[in-house]
């Protein structure tokens, strides 16, 4: 499965949220933390952005979205444990 990394401008365009709102949501546990791509570059896996947007569209409450964020971030680290 090919996965893309979305940089901040693409995440802003996809979500309709501003930079400050995205970082506020990260602080509140309502958005996944970014992935480091280099010394000064970050991004978010496209599947995580899609899952978070689908949860918002479906009307999930903040508690459910926080649980989803935890699940998505755990999936990142467990994806390569078997390699």
Task: Give me the domain span that covers residue 39.
Answer: 5-78
83 within domain boundaries: no
Residue 52: closest CA among 29, 28, 69: 69
Number of domains in the chain: 1
Task: Write the pLDDT tens digit of every residue in 37-66.
Answer: 999 999 999 999 999 999 999 999 999 999
Query: Could you tell me the pTM of the whole model?
Result: 0.90
CB proximity list for 77: less than 8 A, separation 6 or greater: none
11 within domain boundaries: yes
Q: Is 82 a residue whose pLDDT tops 70? A: no
Q: What is the mean pLDDT of residues 65-82?
A: 88
Q: CATH no. for residue 29?
A: 1.10.1660
40 within domain boundaries: yes
């Amino acid at each position: 499965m090919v996965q893309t990394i979305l940089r901040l401008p693409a995440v802003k365009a996809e979500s309709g949220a501003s930079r400050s709102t995205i970082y506020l949501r990260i602080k509140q546990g309502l958005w996944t933390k970014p992935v480091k791509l280099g010394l000064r570059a970050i991004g978010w896996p496209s599947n995580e952005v899609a899952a978070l947007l689908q949860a918002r569209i479906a009307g999930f409450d903040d508690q459910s979205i926080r649980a989803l964020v935890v699940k998505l971030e755990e999936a990142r680290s467990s994806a390569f444990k078997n390699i």
